[in-house]
Structure 1
Amino acid sequence: MKIISLDPTECLPVPEAGMGALRTERGNLPLESVDIAARISGLIAGVEVTQAFRNPFDVTLEATYVFPLPDRAAVTAFTMEADDRVIEGVLKERGQARADYDRALSEGRRAALAEEDRPDVFTITVGNILPGERVTVRLTLSQPLPYEDGAATFRFPLVVAPRYIPGDPLDGAPAGGGVAPDTGAVPDASRITPPVLLPGFPHPVRLSLRADVDPAGLELRELASSLHVVQREGTTVELQPGERLDRDFILRMGFEASTALLLDGEGTFNLTVLPPALQERRAPRDVVLLLDRSGSMTGWKMVAARRAAARIVDTLTSDDRFAVLAFDSVVEQAFEGLREATDRNRYRAVEHLARVDARGGTELLAPLLQAVALLAHPSPPTASRSTAGASPSPTSPATAGSGTSPDTGQATGQSTGPAGEQGARDRIVVLVTDGQVGNEDQILEQAGGALSAMRVHVVGIDRAVNAGFLGRLAGLGAGRCELVESEDRLDAAMEQIHRRIGAPLVTDLSLKGLDVETGTVTHLGSIFPGVPLTVSGRHREGSSVTVHGLAGGTPWEQTVPGTVVDNPAIRAIWARAHLRDLEDRYAMGEHDLESGIVETSLAYGVLCRFTAYVAIDTHQVADGTPEHRVIQPVEPPSGWEMPAMPPSASGMMFTAMAAAAPSAPPPPAPRRPAGPGVPRSLPEPGAPAPLGGTAGFGGGGTQDGQASVDWMEQEQSRGGPGGAGITGPAGRRPSFGRAAGLGRGRSAPQPPPVRHELDLVRPQLGAELERLKTVLVDRRLYLADLGSRLAALAAYLGGHAELSALATELETAEDPGTDADALWARAVEVLTRLVGDSAGGTTRPRPFWKRG
């Protein structure tokens, strides 16, 4: 192995630097700052998000940043500022916007693209940034604030946490530049898995956040931030300097809201109805409690989740029946079927929960389907254990019990008990999780219909929780989503959960009095203790509305007069909620809604899954497309514990996590059945190797830290994929050095006893080929790194003559006298041939944003 001497005067240490940190005169990452300015008035917040990108390289740059926004926020404007010019973004159909962006880059013009990948995950791409130049983009959005128990909450997420990615890898070029390969279950996985920095990396992004609060004439009793240290001046709250983009910003404002009907004068209404003072009804319940024990729940989250689950079990009475399922890559029950909630059974359940530890991957679909089966057919099953590979069959809404009101279409969550039992029982699913999964659409498609016939409550535990997906699940079953961001908040949150896990105060809601446009009213849901009903829609005429419902089987109604207000946010917030409902229906299989979703998005000027904002400069500033591409790495979420690693793995892990661009996805793990001596957290076929890019938390690999390391060591000793694809591509970032254990001078891992077909790694070879074609600088270092990666892939295949020969040639790239250009051409030629030799495989029938 070569040791290159460095001049100490040229390599100054970076204060507070983590291992391997570099510095240039213009910084070492493209995203320079994020500024968030919020104006809160009553239960609506208007927010402007400003992101500043600076090119630290000596060639033109395309920078990509994957970031979160509140899941109910309506993005209504997008601008790009560069060279003293402001370019307004135009909302277009997503395919057209991407084509316009690519054309502008090929013509040497600056351009920026804003896209939605999930209700709360967005991507900004800025292209043709000149060396040393700063480009600023701004997003304008409006968001409603949830109001519960006398307090409104302004929650603004700041980091996209690593997500578990199931499924088999897809062939072809990846949809994005993330660390996980696209799969059949998550066709855009590479767009929602940005590389993650190691803890201790010097502050890469300057964060500022300011919130001006107007309680709209009401007395403001409380103004408190739960996760950040803030400075307060009057009703203005501001983050202290130096805070990181690693957890949600949460601001709670205590004031008394009121029942109101707001009309915007252009046909949009927004209704808020406070809960009536009614006696809570406690019908017998069938409850299935699902506890997420996956690797991302390690640390304080697992402790809080166990406590939350135990408190939920304690709320049950002798009239209730329940089941407790803990899940990661497998599903384990505390006992068979639904059991009566006797003192003995509740004690057994709590004792079982106390032994649950974090491990494995977040296979969420199987336990949801098992919960559906238990509630649809309450008789005890014959088996007490189910694996992800042998999950119960999905239950359709038609067979899941009578759970729909004929007037409103809302879930009633009721069913009859076993034969001979009189009366209806509330059917309830309670899910305790952080929600860090990437296959949201797959889960909605396969389980959403059955869950909508039950009541679904979700307890989200994380400082960077996947609130968008968890809210969608709870909305399906007219339930509640309670978010717990810290152990300090657990007791207060559990008190709220205790009050709401039972039957709501008012169900079977409907509206009368307004001439409502068909299909425009957002989900009515139910009215729970302490939680107002909020609903919006479009109407033709009318100045008041009457809300009808059932309170304990007795008719209930309330009439609310309307007030006309001049607030365009009302229209935007309704449009976003309506689009989200349509997108959920699309995900559940109604693909004919696509054109309607696009039309609604464009008509109301609100970004959605099938549209995108594109801003294009009229001036040509470069000769063509960017010479360098970087995906901005994100902070590891606060409160996530790093898995244990042997010293030999730390170098590889840092290289993967600190890289400004992802590596080629590692080859799929060989399928091996669960059994004695096989870690339960072993990745499913097609899942990326553990520790690749996200520290074992996401990217489709195992989420159990120690098991991840054990598996990786086993695979490396066998020459398997555990060591492949973990390095970051040097050609798309400043060099962070070669992956430990795979550099020159080290022999490739020993081949495994079983040979694998080239098809298994063809997607990775295709990704390497695409990246290789973009390399214009530092070719020697890049080619040497590529050689080490190809050697690992060849070893995984059990030996591949042509691939091994190419790897050996490329590892000489840094030797004196080597013709780097000839080696580059040789690599392109061989990889093109290997990728083109496909004998079949999975292809993309539609663009990734149009797939369920």
Structure 2
Amino acid sequence: MITEITALRPEECEPVPGAGLGALVTDRGNLPLESVEVTAGVCGLAAGVEVVQTFRNPHEVALEATYVFPLPDRAAVTSFTMEADGRVVEGVLKERGQARADYDQAVAEGRRAAIAEEDRPDVFTIRVGNIVPGERVTVRLGLDQPLPYEDGAATFRFPLVVAPRYVPGAPLDGERAGDGWACDTDAVPDASRITPPVLLPGFPDPVRLSLAVSIDPAGLDLREIRSSLHVVQEEGNTVRLRPGERLDRDFVLRLAFDASTSLALVPDPGKDPEDGSGEGTFTLTVVPGPAQVTDRAKDVVLVLDRSGSMTGWKMVAARRAAARIVDTLTTGDRFAVLSFDTVVEGPEGLGEGLSEASDRNRYRAVEHLARLEARGGTEMLAPLERAAGLLASGGRGGRDRVLVLVTDGQVGNEDQILERLAPRLAGTRVHTVGIDRAVNAGFLSRLAGIGAGRCELVESEDRLDEAMEHIHRRIGSPVVTGLSLEADGLGLLPDGVSRLDSLYPGVPLVVRGRYRGAAEGSLAVRGTDVAGNAWRRRVAGSVADGPATGATRAIWARERLRALEDRYAAGDHSLEEEIVAVSLRYGVLCRFTAFVAVDSRVVAEGGPGHRVIQPVEPPSGWERPLPPAAAPMSLTGMAAPMSAAPGFAAASFGGAPVPPPAPGAAAPRSVAPRVAAPGPRPRLAGPAPVAPPAPAPLGELLAGELRGLREAASLPAADRLRHLEDLAGRLAALAVSLGGHAGLEALVARLRAGGDVEDLWRETLEGLEELGRTGKRRSFWRR
């Protein structure tokens, strides 16, 4: 029997307004985050920003809402408030463990509370507890950020979504650190905190977004304003985002004007600039003049990410970028190309090490790059260690060593990568090229920073040619190296000056620091130019005024905290107390502290009856794969959609999709996908060249020294003294490779001070044991 199927008339099948795949519409809405408002004021090369997030409880019982969101990686978060039912509660910055305890106690007692925590330099989490049914709670974050300036343009970048990140390592047992879709692993102990669930594509716009930027050139000649990715409206000196945009990509403004060399002195609030007893913050900006860039011979290793998250336009852009880098090499250079996902591959026919940059070899490399397609997981550590090994084994003096990484940076094991690479990158410049509309800028900036290189971000194919022109100049030799700072009449505070990197063409040198005494004097920057001649630039200071000066102190503190946190990530766990002290003194949020706001009024007896983690948008420009589904939120039969395509687990994470629990069930540990279960380590295609072994973590190195010390305990006193002298040399070198380590440096100083061999031997044993214990402390985010 054949039944005729009659087509519906158009008016019979009109879609429900705003409906999308997996949508569920209720009178009260379906997700707790109702709106995000960003208001920024740009003044010269700094911006003050207020972020307002409004949460609403659509359920019948009290709610705790969790939102994982990004902020600019160099921004200093300095204030936090909670508003509800006409009450405003100011947040207090506390040590992170204490802030969590205060929040948990308040929520358990039925009081409103909110907490803001930093999980990565550009990933933050807010929890708002005891939102009563139908109520709105608003949280406000105040932050200050510097604007990077290169080649005549400053960039204001504000990220709007945390993209899914690849999580390597073996799953950990015990309590999870967060409520995300990934398991915590030995490589990423807080993976469940940085992996919020992702909405299905097509889900109706769940969050109302408002973003406005007012621009004050601060006396500079503003020639042009360009917006990337978003459509904007200009109203006088204010740029507004077009209504209806989604939180799925970075907002980027580029402001073209000419910066100038200056030394701005900003006394601390309440201090007279002429008062010699106060302190203040300085910002030194040195704009390089025209310089002749030499074609100094160099060894270059190009590492290209071809993992699953690079699917689509990103893979096309990455191939083009990598090919352009290879084409810029000259016959005096040597190079290698490594492409990676879960394996590491190189071009056929180029040999096992660095190859001469002949026309034939460059053609082979470009041909290899042209065939690459996105696949697999982002196992980034192995190829970077391999690249560092190739550069270290180059063996020729007088050549620049350059590592270039092309990636979207979407990995969760940033700290592990930095810890393993930092000791191996001495003498190597590291440049990173981030390709994504929601790039992991924090990690790529940190990686470039430890290699004294540059980070270039590419958010669209339209921007690629401009970005590659910048990168071409960066890969060449810097115009000035070996920079140092001299003060004349300005009392610089020790350990208060930011790191001086090399001076590159088109990129101003920006140095921030603290001073004591009157706001007067000058600074001189010294170095060596490309011709080997001495280079010097003196800049007289002047007291700065205007609205941007209030941000100077906070921006310096954030920069100082990030430098300390990177050293902590590289293995120096003795810095924890100093990091907390700097954060609390200057009122700037970091990974060891948190803002907490607690209301005194009890509004929900027994605490929240429901907990929800806000799902985020799929990043714009991403094609599948996406993360696996998380456990659905449910209450009295109403499930909020917070899932995505399950193929991501199998395609890119090496795991299998896991079915969600039954409606109303809690999310057991087994619901989360087993991300990157232990398996064979990434391999090189073809015969692998011999490379230096990867450095052991700090704890393992100290344990080895401790064993050697105990085994030598029976030697004669003279031999033991020589053993201690050799140990001092090894520990000093290790401290240098870590960028400084207070505990190691103190022990080296004690060893070199000499004394009775028995006392020295005992104190060294105790010192190594204590340093080993600090390396085994429980991670601060899992307290």
Q: Same fold (TM over 0.5)?
A: yes
- Candidates 349, 355, 360, aligned match of 1:344: 360
- Matched residue, 1:268: 281
CA-CA distance at 1:333 after TM superposition: 1.4
Structure 1 residues 702 and 375: alpha-carbon distance in aligned structure 2, compared to 1, 3 A threshold: farther
CA-CA distance at 1:695 after TM superposition: 4.1
The answer to whether residue 429 in structure 2 is matched with residue 451 in structure 1 is no
Amino acid at match of 2:620: S
Amino acid at match of 2:186: G
What whole-Å deviation, never above 9, does each CA across 1:760-809 have from its counterpart, x for those lacking one? xxxx95x37xxxxxxxxxxxxxxxxxxxx79x99xx9xxxxxxxxxxxxx
Answer yes or no: is the 8 Å Cα contact 1:633–1:658 preserved in 2. Answer: no
CA-CA distance at 1:625 after TM superposition: 1.8
CA-CA distance at 1:624 after TM superposition: 2.0
- Matched residue, 1:562: 541
Matches within 5 A, 1:489-528: 489-513=463-487, 514-528=490-504
What whole-Å deviation, never above 9, does each CA across 1:44-99 have from its counterpart, x for those lacking one? 00000000000000000000000000000000000000010110000000000000
SS in 2 for 1:731: coil
Amino acid at match of 2:283: N
CA-CA distance at 1:284 after TM superposition: 0.4
Answer yes or no: is the 8 Å Cα contact 2:21–2:201 preserved in 1. Answer: no
Aligned-residue sequence identity (percent) comes to 67
CA-CA distance at 1:453 after TM superposition: 2.8
- Matched residue, 1:574: 556
Answer yes or no: is the 8 Å Cα contact 2:633–2:664 preserved in 1. Answer: no
SS in 1 for 2:97: helix
For residues 540 and 778 of structure 2, what CA distance do their matches in structure 1 show? Answer: 46
- 4+ runs of 1 displaced by more than 6 Å? none
For residues 322 and 334 of structure 2, what CA distance do their matches in structure 1 show? Answer: 15
- Candidates 437, 449, 459, aligned match of 1:485: 459
- Matched residue, 1:90: 92
For residues 603 and 109 of structure 1, what CA distance do their matches in structure 2 show? Answer: 28
- Candidates 413, 435, 442, aligned match of 1:439: 413
For residues 49 and 729 of structure 1, what CA distance do their matches in structure 2 show? Answer: 36
CA-CA distance at 1:580 after TM superposition: 0.2
Answer yes or no: is the 8 Å Cα contact 1:197–1:658 preserved in 2. Answer: no
Structure 1 residues 92 and 296: alpha-carbon distance in aligned structure 2, compared to 1, 3 A threshold: same
- Matched residue, 1:623: 605
Amino acid at match of 2:527: G
For residues 199 and 845 of structure 1, what CA distance do their matches in structure 2 show? Answer: 42
Structure 1 residue ranges without an equivalent (≥5):
1-11, 379-415, 418-422, 645-652, 662-691, 712-720, 734-763, 769-788, 797-843
The answer to whether residue 590 in structure 2 is matched with residue 608 in structure 1 is yes
Answer yes or no: is the 8 Å Cα contact 2:201–2:644 preserved in 1. Answer: no
Matches within 5 A, 1:365-444: 365-378=381-394, 416-417=395-396, 423-444=397-418
CA-CA distance at 1:848 after TM superposition: 3.9
Structure 1 residues 548 and 227: alpha-carbon distance in aligned structure 2, compared to 1, 3 A threshold: same
What whole-Å deviation, never above 9, does each CA across 1:670-711 have from its counterpart, x for those lacking one? xxxxxxxxxxxxxxxxxxxxxx9664697xx4554xxx7xx7
The answer to whether residue 659 in structure 2 is matched with residue 731 in structure 1 is no
CA-CA distance at 1:851 after TM superposition: 7.8
Matches within 5 A, 1:97-176: 97-176=99-178
- Candidates 347, 350, 354, aligned match of 2:370: 354
CA-CA distance at 1:173 after TM superposition: 1.5
- Matched residue, 1:184: 186
For residues 631 and 256 of structure 2, what CA distance do their matches in structure 1 show? Answer: 41
SS in 1 for 2:162: coil
SS in 2 for 1:630: strand
What whole-Å deviation, never above 9, does each CA across 1:635-669 have from its counterpart, x for those lacking one? 0000001249xxxxxxxx88x269459xxxxxxxx
Amino acid at match of 2:502: S
TM-score (norm 1): 0.73
Matches within 5 A, 1:194-343: 194-266=196-268, 267-334=280-347, 335=350, 336-343=352-359
Amino acid at match of 1:289: L
The answer to whether residue 531 in structure 2 is matched with residue 549 in structure 1 is no
For residues 229 and 426 of structure 2, what CA distance do their matches in structure 1 show? Answer: 33
Answer yes or no: is the 8 Å Cα contact 2:177–2:781 preserved in 1. Answer: no
What whole-Å deviation, never above 9, does each CA across 1:157-186 have from its counterpart, x for those lacking one? 000000000011111111100000101100
CA-CA distance at 1:847 after TM superposition: 4.8
For residues 196 and 732 of structure 1, what CA distance do their matches in structure 2 show? Answer: 20
Matches within 5 A, 1:43-54: 43-54=45-56
CA-CA distance at 1:500 after TM superposition: 1.3
Structure 1 residues 63 and 150: alpha-carbon distance in aligned structure 2, compared to 1, 3 A threshold: same
Amino acid at match of 2:660: T
For residues 84 and 778 of structure 2, what CA distance do their matches in structure 1 show? Answer: 31
Matches within 5 A, 1:13-92: 14-92=16-94
Answer yes or no: is the 8 Å Cα contact 2:444–2:455 preserved in 1. Answer: yes
For residues 174 and 662 of structure 2, what CA distance do their matches in structure 1 show? Answer: 18
Answer yes or no: is the 8 Å Cα contact 1:186–1:439 preserved in 2. Answer: yes
Structure 1 residues 68 and 44: alpha-carbon distance in aligned structure 2, compared to 1, 3 A threshold: same
SS in 1 for 2:492: coil
In the alignment of these two chains, the number of paired residues is 642
Answer yes or no: is the 8 Å Cα contact 1:163–1:697 preserved in 2. Answer: no
SS in 2 for 1:539: strand
TM-score (norm 2): 0.79
For residues 554 and 696 of structure 1, what CA distance do their matches in structure 2 show? Answer: 60
CA-CA distance at 1:221 after TM superposition: 0.7
For residues 121 and 650 of structure 2, what CA distance do their matches in structure 1 show? Answer: 25
CA-CA distance at 1:579 after TM superposition: 0.1
Answer yes or no: is the 8 Å Cα contact 1:162–1:694 preserved in 2. Answer: no
For residues 247 and 729 of structure 1, what CA distance do their matches in structure 2 show? Answer: 33
For residues 459 and 153 of structure 1, what CA distance do their matches in structure 2 show? Answer: 16
- Candidates 617, 620, 631, aligned match of 1:635: 617
What whole-Å deviation, never above 9, does each CA across 1:508-554 have from its counterpart, x for those lacking one? 11110143222221121111111101110112245210011111121
CA RMSD of aligned residues (A): 2.3
